[in-house]
Amino acid sequence: MQIIRSPEVHPVIVIGSGASGGMAAWNLTRQGINVLLLDAGSRFDRFTFWTHVQPWEARERHARGEHPPKFFLDTAEQPYVTPPDRPFALTRVWGHGGKTNVWGRVSLRYSELDFKAAVRDGWEIPWPISYSDVAPYYDRVEQLIGVCGGTDDSDALPGSKVLLPPPPPRCGERLLQKSIQKLGIPVVAGRRANMTRTVRGFPPCHYCGNCGAGCDTASFFCSADHLLPEAVATGRLEIRSNAVVARILTDDNGVASGVQYFDRQTGAERQVRAKVVVVGASCVDSTRILLNSKSARHPNGLGNGSDVIGRYLCEQIRLNHAGYFPALEGAPTRNDRGIGGAHIYMPRFNHRSGEGRDYLRGFGAQFWNTGASASGAHGGSHQIPGFGAALKTAIKRRHPAWFEIHPFGEVLPYAHNRITVDESRTDRYGVPLPKIDYRIGENERKMTEHMADTVEEIVRAAGGVLVGYQRGQLDAMGSAIHEHGTCRMGAEPKRSALNKFNQMHEVRNVFVVDGSAFPNASEKNPTLTILALSWRATDYLAEEFKRGSF
Amino acid sequence: MDPSEVRLLKRAQGDVNRRDALRTLAAGTIGAVTSTTWVESLSALAQAHAHAAASPVATQGWAPRVLTARQNTTVITLTELIIPETDTPGARAAGVNRFIDGVLHEATPPDRDRFVRGLAWIDERSTALFGRAFADAGVAQQTTLLTRLADADNTDAGDRPGVEFFRAIKSMTISGYYTTEIGLRRELGDDGRLMLAEFEGCTHPEHQG
């Protein structure tokens, strides 16, 4: 097929329109820089979201042949490769806004414990930045996207003065909070990008709790609603949909000259030129693009003379336990939908004295699905023995009493946990597929033990009963959907791919602004930090443009 | 992203197949560890189906796609025994048999066959014990047989197919019933309010810190 080459040289091409790419496009265009934004999908129309569709209505709609927006990329269209004995549950959203359409919205500031972890324990490389570098950007991002939370401030979770009021806890969350605090572990208000007040003209959260279906009122941050329209309004943003980027092109000097992509609808190959390329396709896809961008000057993938790109893939380990509080059985059913996730959060505590831990890094805990489910009986109801009126009564009595505990723990960056491109396996465009080889090690196993001890202590202190409990049973690898590390920033070009402004050491007109830039995963949810770093990196890029560097 | 939400949405999107359903179970749906594969598989599919799937819901002109009329009657009888009418309607009124037929329609042929064989097993056992097929037996007789199958301590090898089958249909019944308007709103007492100005949260003095 004929390759369509466009002669125009765009000042900046941004790849991906989620948290990282959307932020880059928004921040560059408002500073007067023209951007061509390539997204592998198209717009999801939020007026067609099934935000308020009840389960029985969903079945009726399906029976009529209707479907909600298809957010998740089908592996039949775009497979990825894993070793047969090491599955990895990769979740990808191709389309405007990417995963921010359906993200969990947990918005936690990283602390010096995260940025300086490697300084303290010597495991791999530290971030080339400190909390003080990022703090002003956290302030700006939180105000821009509307994060609710409390007034707490600690060495594990730095405070913020710009948060919106948090929703009060549900009954079960109150019990958890009270009991965990009795153990000497602080529990704070959850911080989530649900707008509990009007923000920039977007209506506040209405507490339907079904955020996972996408928000039809745009009351939680989604790049497609909260960043892209403003960027388009500047007149400086062109969004090209269904542009599946394959490679970043380079000139004879190894400098990036543009991008090669395939039209997802026609399969046609296209090439577009740019002075600067900003990569924000999410960790795995950005890494795939970089590794596939081989040339004489970059035989190991773009900017990968150090051979770090693709390595150090780190996600998180997570337990997922459920139980009930006998004290809440038989209580009247309340509307516990809230902001569609936990209203409390247990920040990391294991760094404090007296914990006697035998592993590196730490974990925090979330508590989703605590309270009366609004989408059917809680899954634990299936474990109640018997049948008949007694079963029906037991399910109803237990309905308001369910709680869940989900400790999230950091997985260390290991060189052998890596994404490679499999030349023998290609997608429909002939582009090599990403191969993900990921496993946890001894440090994570020890951490899991501490996580399990903590779960058991909490449940004991709170007077709860665990149901279907299997100690230390971790969720599937990849299921935290927090991939990091495969294009990490660092002070030393031999050990990192990016400098402290997310700029490639070896290719100065390429920036990588998504989670792949993180040297380590932390136990926290990364999106707030991705937004802050993408803002910071593109501030730097805009300055460089003004200075005539590009 | 809360995986619970991702799972629900993947279901709503219709991306559910047996492998996904099993992965869902493996990734944290509570329990079912002791179940055999086909029971797990159908249970997971039913939980997925509860939030999506093309089950016919028309009140008129419905006909089962998988079950025979006779099997459908047995399923109605069984589901109503599992979640009976009390001060609120039971599984029969909520149309759980239709839900189950829809799940079976989507199930793999082997899983579907296991379920149908389970129905046959119930009838055979009922006939052996009471001289009548299950749906035609008296309520006391039906209850006697189900009590035996629901007994966690029942290790009788001869009952095993029935025990497995009961676990599957019970799980499917719970998934179906509580995702109907009858089950969620009338029985569980969900107020169905999807637009609140403020979220009140817990107001019980005894729960406060």
Structure confidence by residue, pLDDT tens digits, B181-198: 999 999 999 999 999 999
Nearest CA-CA partner of A174 in A403, A429, A384, A475: A403
DSSP assignment string, A230-277: HHHHTT-EEEETTEEEEEEEE-TTS-EEEEEEEETTT--EEEEEEEEE
| 3-class secondary-structure state, position A174 | helix
Question: Touching check for B10 and chain A: CB below 8 Å?
Answer: yes
Counting one residue from chain A and one from chain B, the pairs whose CB atoms sit within 8 A come to 229
User: Is residue A402 a contact partner of residue A418, using CB atoms and an 8 Å limit?
Assistant: no
Average pLDDT over residues A397-417: 98
Domain membership flag for residue B209: no
Give the DSSP H or E segment for A240. strand A237-240
Band (pLDDT 50/70/90 cuts) for residue A350 is very high
Residue B33 CB contacts under 8 Å (≥ 6 apart), including other chains: A468, A470
pLDDT at residue B58, rounded to an integer: 54
- Give the per-residue pLDDT at B152: 85
B90 assigned to some structural domain? yes
Give the per-residue pLDDT at B1.
46
Answer whether residue B34 shows pLDDT above 70. Answer: no
Is the pLDDT confidence value at B30 over 50?
A: no
**Positive or negative, the Cα torsion across A456, A457, A458, A463?**
positive
**pLDDT at residue B75, rounded to an integer:** 98
The minimal CB distance from A392 to the residues B57, B84, B184 is found for: B84
B208 within some domain: no
The backbone torsions φ and ψ at residue A238, rounded to the nearest 5 degrees and listed phi first, read: -110, 125
In this structure, what DSSP letter does residue A130 have?
A: -
The string of pLDDT tens digits covering residues A171-224 is 999 999 999 999 999 999 999 999 999 999 999 999 999 999 999 999 999 999
**Contact yes or no for B82 and A388 at CB 8 A:** yes
**B3-13 and B37-49 helices, crossing angle to 10°:** 80
The CA-atom distances, in angstroms, between A465 and each of A169, A400, A402, B171 are 20, 14, 9, 21
**How confident is residue A493, by pLDDT bands cut at 50, 70 and 90?**
very high
Q: Which of A103, A332, A376 sits opposite B178 (nearest CB)?
A: A376
- The pair of structure tokens assigned to A160 is 């913020």
pLDDT at A1: 63
Judge whether B11 lies within some domain.
yes
CA distance to partner chain A, nearest, from residue B70 (Å): 22
Containing domain of residue B148, as a range?
3-56+63-188
Domains and CATH numbers, chain A: 1-48+69-130+221-315+414-432+481-545 (3.50.50.60), 167-190+316-410+441-476 (no CATH)
Question: Using alpha carbons only, how large is chain A's radius of gyration in Å?
Answer: 23
Do residues B202 and A173 touch, judged by C-beta distance below 8 A? yes
CB–CB of B187 and A396 under 8 A? yes
Reply yes or no on whether the pLDDT at A331 is more than 70. yes
B51 at interface of A, judged by CB pairs closer than 8 A: yes
pLDDT at A484: 98
Does the pLDDT value for residue B13 go beyond 80? no
Is B203 inside any structural domain?
A: no
**Encoded amino acid at A270, one letter:** R
A8: helix, strand or coil: strand
Q: Are A176 and A187 in contact (CB under 8 A)?
A: yes
What's the pLDDT score for residue B31? 38
For A345, phi and psi rounded to 5 degrees? -145, 140
Please give the residue of chain B at the shortest CA–CA distance from A179.
Answer: B209
Answer whether B26 touches A (CB < 8 Å). Answer: yes
User: Is A535 within 8 Å of A302 (Cβ atoms)?
Assistant: no
Please determine, for residue B208, whether its predicted confidence score (pLDDT) is greater than 90. Answer: no
Distance CA A417, CA A263 (A): 31
**Is pLDDT at B12 greater than 90 in this prediction?**
no
pLDDT (0 to 100) of residue B9? 52
| Mean per-residue pLDDT, A435-448 | 98
Query: Quick one: DSSP state of residue A222?
Result: -
Nearest to A476 among B27, B31, B189 (CB): B27
Dihedral angle, C-alpha B71, B75, B81, B86, nearest 10 °: -130
Are B8 and A212 in contact (CB < 8 Å)? yes
Q: Are B45 and B105 spatial neighbours (Cβ–Cβ below 8 Å)?
A: no
Is a pLDDT exceeding 70 seen at residue B25?
Answer: no
Residues of A numbered 275-294 whose beta carbons fall under 8 angstroms of chain B's beta carbons: which are they?
none
Does residue B194 fall inside a structural domain?
no
- What residues in B contact A55, CB-CB < 8 Å? 50-51, 179-180, 184
Residue B14 has pLDDT above 60, yes or no: no
Residue B207 domain-assigned?
A: no
Instruction: Find residues 150-179 of chain B whose CB sits inside 8 Å of chain A.
Output: 150, 152, 170-171, 174-175, 177-179
* SS3 assignment, position A47: helix
Whether chain B has a CB inside 8 Å of the CB on A72: the answer is yes
> pLDDT at residue B51 above 80?
no
For residue B21, the model assigns a pLDDT of 43
- A322 and B CB contact within 8 Å: yes
Does residue B201 fall inside a structural domain? no
* pLDDT, tens digit (0-9, with 9 covering 90-100), for A98-151: 999 999 999 999 999 999 999 999 999 999 999 999 999 999 999 999 999 999
Number of domain units in chain B: 1
ipTM for the predicted complex: 0.93
Question: Does an H or E element contain A16, and which?
Answer: none
How many CA atoms lie less than 13 Å away from A220 in the CB half-sphere? Answer: 32
pLDDT for residue A6 is more than 80:
yes
